[in-house]
């Protein structure tokens, strides 16, 4: 092993094993061209750092910019700076490293190995179907069978058409009619693209595997190597040019994916010819540190980075398939990743990152939240679903609603080939989650908890209203772009607290008065809706400008306004936009400002008692804009959060609430379209 003087001096041992990145010392590696030179001269660490930069999302497409940049190893991350005076930047990205120890390490601190922060070096095979990799997958399968919320793989009635795969690879697989047979099968999730597959109308039909799209051929090989006999892949198991076959099989979408023993996910493929079985190469640094017994490895190998940024991870239908399937084997760019109701497991790391995103856990989709409801829906003998996972304090109804909101948020960030399918795609999840306790299904929201349904807004990027009617404005399906259900950030005990002390709700809570839905298919309320659908809601309202003026700098409140499809009120420091775009948006809003109302949805600022901080609390409101000349008719256009800011204000707790109650609230019944 060869190291240059600089890399030889890198100290990975002065901080304890598993210490926070900020505790690790900083080393200036030099200008990027200098790293390249030292790598060519044989420094293996410089080569590792260069290859990391060259493959990173931040730099791989603009390496020329690195020519005059300084590379610093700081806080277990490669930090690229314009000069020595530039302050350190930090991000949880593909330039962040973990410190690993050698395999079967027994040195200093060995008792910490396999705890939360420390991992041994895992050398994974290049071939994803190497015996070592297959053994790992079979171990995951075996472990999954014992998980309480994971359905046990068992024989079920096979889908109408299925690919039968002989154990002998010299015998051709064939597409067969199941004709009532039972068995355990694997299902394939992939991006098909525009690749054509043969239209099969005669059964059984032998398959020339060499002539098939590579992804399907690889899925057949994988199914055989895992010891399964049957595979379901839509391009071969649904007659592509038959509308009746599509209609018949798509209606069984939930059963096909939900009853599969395992789903193979072709995570990286952009179409059916991309394949699944690609070589994997995990970058490890040479041994570093003063004792040369520490290795650097990308931190992202123990969280979902590659899934979230993959071609398949951006597709809406794939998200639904992933929700329905009881367990998934992701063939990701760098490694195999396992997913089931117990969480994720990573081929390249035995340690899961439990810190990244931990502060927003309830706002993040997790299979453990939805899987119990899917399991219940598909079992012959349903189990009673109690509060799930860490939401033990949430009521059963609250847990069910939160599971739905998690799925909506996860789905909303994905794309669809046909945007008109938004409600149709989510219909299978809506059907599963609906046990009658949440009221009627109204184009993506539930009638019993209308405040929760209206409490959504954009994440970062502006939302794009549908070019043609797709859903009412109150529904997340009416816009394109990632949304966040604000209700999942409300205190976990919000519903119980209001039940114990309903005074605030009785005064301010919105109530659904009536609704009228025009369904695309009257027999299927979970599907598409037509123009003319509306709801009447009674709520406490105030003009948006009146609210802003009332909550001035001297009031004990702060105001955060977010418009769904307009940059007005955005923080100019956080979000960069052309000045002309902001000016145009501001002028448009100013001309319509008086047409905007706010309606209270939910809040916790009223809470008192020793367990609550009286200096804090929120109230969330939906922004509504008058529609046309029809009096009392509005559409949803944004969201407002009012934060109680008691610090620096001389008012008492009661006086603060007197300010709030004394504002120009008016109870109104509005028609939302």
What are the b/e assignments for 403-414, b being 16+ CB within 10 Å?
bbbbbbbbbbbb
**Tally of CB atoms within 10 A around 87:** 6
One domain for residues 444 and 535: yes
> Does residue 411 fall inside a structural domain?
no
> Does residue 412 fall inside a structural domain?
no
| Count of domains observed in the chain | 3
One domain for residues 88 and 144: no
One domain for residues 606 and 460: yes
**Tally of CB atoms within 10 A around 28:** 14
* Rounded Cα distance, 497 and 673, in Å: 31
> Does residue 365 fall inside a structural domain?
no
pLDDT at 643: 87
* Rounded Cα distance, 52 and 33, in Å: 14
Task: State the number of CA atoms in the 13 A half-sphere of 169 facing the CB.
Answer: 11
One domain for residues 204 and 330: yes
pLDDT at 154: 82
One domain for residues 480 and 562: yes
* Rounded Cα distance, 44 and 30, in Å: 15
One domain for residues 666 and 621: yes
Q: What are phi and psi of 162, to 5 degrees?
A: -150, 150
Task: State the number of CA atoms in the 13 A half-sphere of 174 facing the CB.
Answer: 12
pLDDT by residue (tens digit) across 619-663? 999 999 999 878 899 999 999 999 887 555 556 777 777 888 889
DSSP line for 18-30: T--GGGSPPEEEE
One domain for residues 71 and 128: no
One domain for residues 347 and 460: no
> Does residue 429 fall inside a structural domain?
no
* Rounded Cα distance, 355 and 18, in Å: 13
> Does residue 435 fall inside a structural domain?
no
pLDDT at 89: 80
CA dihedral 217, 223, 224, 229 (to 10 degrees): -110
The SS3 call for residue 633 is strand
The tokens describing 501, both together, are 């002390």
Element (H, E) at 627: none
> Does residue 377 fall inside a structural domain?
no
pLDDT at 629: 78
Range of the domain at 177: 124-281+302-356
One domain for residues 335 and 221: yes
The tokens describing 179, both together, are 């004709």
**Tally of CB atoms within 10 A around 609:** 8
Number of helices (H) and strands (E), helices first, in the chain?
Answer: 19, 30
Last residue of a domain, one of 95, 114, 139: 95
pLDDT at 316: 96
* Rounded Cα distance, 211 and 273, in Å: 11
DSSP designation for 242: -
* Rounded Cα distance, 138 and 550, in Å: 63
Q: What are phi and psi of 589, to 5 degrees?
A: -65, -40
Helix axis angle for 316-324 and 396-412, nearest 10°, is 150
Name the percent of the chain lying above pLDDT 90: 64
Q: Cβ distance 175 to 216 under 8 Å?
A: no
> Among candidates 583, 403, 584, which has minimal Cα distance to 487?
403
**Tally of CB atoms within 10 A around 595:** 15
pLDDT at 583: 92
One domain for residues 179 and 78: no
pLDDT at 616: 72
The tokens describing 397, both together, are 């109804």
The SS3 call for residue 222 is helix
* Rounded Cα distance, 544 and 640, in Å: 9
The tokens describing 601, both together, are 């949805």
> Among candidates 81, 64, 65, 62, which has minimal Cα distance to 73?
81
Give all strands (DSSP E) within 571-615, no chain letters. 596-603
Radius of gyration of the chain (CA): 28
> Does residue 19 fall inside a structural domain?
yes
Q: Cβ distance 582 to 572 under 8 Å?
A: yes
71 to 95, 288, 520: CA distances (angstroms): 11, 18, 58
pLDDT at 390: 39
Q: Which segments of the chain have a pLDDT < 70?
A: 13-24, 106-117, 240-251, 355-361, 380-395, 553, 608-615, 646-651
Neighbouring-strand partners of residue 329: 264, 338
* Rounded Cα distance, 191 and 315, in Å: 8
The tokens describing 376, both together, are 């219940």
> Does residue 570 fall inside a structural domain?
yes
One domain for residues 661 and 543: yes
One domain for residues 131 and 46: no
pLDDT at 263: 98
* Rounded Cα distance, 197 and 200, in Å: 9
């Amino acid at each position: 092993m060869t190291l240059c003087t600089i890399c030889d001096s890198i100290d990975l041992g002065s901080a304890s094993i598993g210490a926070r990145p900020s505790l690790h010392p900083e080393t200036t590696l030099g200008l990027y061209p200098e790293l390249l030179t030292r790598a060519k001269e044989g420094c293996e660490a410089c080569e590792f750092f260069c290859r990391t930069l060259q493959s990173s999302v931040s730099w791989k497409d603009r390496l020329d910019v690195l020519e005059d940049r300084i590379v610093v190893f700081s806080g277990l991350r490669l930090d690229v700076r314009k000069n020595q005076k530039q302050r350190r930047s930090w991000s949880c990205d593909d330039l962040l490293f973990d410190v690993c120890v050698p395999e079967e390490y027994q040195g200093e601190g060995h008792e910490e190995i396999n705890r939360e922060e420390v991992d041994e070096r895992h050398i994974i095979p290049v071939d994803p179907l190497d015996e070592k990799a297959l053994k790992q997958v079979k171990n995951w399968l075996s472990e999954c069978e014992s998980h309480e919320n994971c359905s046990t793989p068992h024989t079920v009635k096979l889908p109408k058409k299925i690919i039968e795969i002989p154990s002998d690879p010299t015998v051709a697989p064939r597409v067969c009619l199941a004709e009532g047979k039972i068995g355990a099968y694997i299902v394939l999730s992939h991006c098909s693209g525009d690749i054509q597959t043969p239209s099969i109308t005669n059964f059984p039909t032998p398959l020339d595997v060499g002539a098939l799209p590579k992804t399907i051929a690889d899925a057949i090989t994988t199914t055989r190597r895992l010891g399964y006999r049957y595979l379901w892949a839509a391009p071969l198991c649904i007659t592509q040019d038959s509308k009746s076959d599509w209609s018949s099989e798509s209606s069984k979408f939930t059963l096909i994916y939900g009853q599969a023993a395992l789903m193979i996910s072709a995570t990286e493929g952009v179409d059916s010819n991309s394949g699944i079985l690609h070589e994997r190469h995990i970058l490890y640094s040479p041994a570093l540190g003063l004792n040369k017994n520490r290795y650097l490895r990308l931190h992202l190998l123990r969280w979902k980075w590659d899934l979230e940024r993959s071609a398949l991870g951006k597709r809406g239908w794939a998200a639904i398939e992933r929700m329905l399937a009881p367990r998934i084997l992701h063939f990701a760019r760098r490694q195999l990743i396992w997913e089931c109701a117990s969480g994720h497991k990573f081929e390249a790391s035995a340690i899961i990152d439990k810190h990244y995103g931990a502060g927003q856990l309830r706002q993040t989709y997790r299979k453990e939240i939805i899987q119990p409801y899917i399991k219940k829906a598909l079992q012959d003998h349903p189990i009673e679903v109690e509060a799930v996972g860490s939401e033990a304090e949430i009521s059963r109804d609250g847990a069910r609603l939160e599971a739905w909101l998690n799925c909506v948020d996860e789905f909303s960030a994905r794309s669809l080939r046909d945007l008109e399918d938004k409600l149709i795609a989510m219909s299978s999840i809506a059907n599963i989650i609906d046990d009658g306790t949440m009221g009627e299904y109204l184009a993506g929201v539930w009638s019993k908890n209308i405040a929760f349904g209206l409490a959504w807004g954009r994440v970062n990027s502006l939302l794009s209203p549908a070019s043609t009617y797709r859903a009412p404005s109150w529904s997340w399906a009416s816009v394109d772009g990632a949304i966040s259900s604000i209700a999942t950030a409300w205190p976990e005990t919000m519903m119980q607290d209001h039940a114990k002390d309903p005074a605030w709700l009785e005064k301010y809570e919105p109530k659904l008065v009536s609704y009228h839905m025009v369904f695309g298919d009257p027999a299927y309320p979970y599907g598409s809706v037509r123009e003319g659908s509306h709801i009447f809601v009674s709520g406490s309202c105030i003009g948006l400008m009146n609210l802003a003026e009332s909550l001035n700098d001297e009031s004990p409140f702060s105001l955060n306004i977010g418009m769904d499809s307009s940059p007005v009120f955005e923080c100019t420091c956080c979000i960069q936009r052309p000045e002309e775009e902001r000016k145009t948006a501001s002028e448009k809003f100013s001309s319509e400002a008086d047409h905007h109302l706010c309606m209270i949805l939910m809040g916790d600022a009223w809470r008192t008692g020793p367990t609550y901080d009286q200096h804090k609390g929120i109230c969330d409101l939906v922004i509504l804009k008058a529609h046309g000349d029809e009096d009392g008719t509005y559409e949803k256009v944004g969201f407002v959060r009012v934060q109680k800011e008691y610090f620096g204000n001389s008012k008492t707790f009661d006086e603060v609430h007197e300010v709030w109650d004394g504002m120009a609230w008016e109870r109104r019944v509005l028609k939302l379209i």
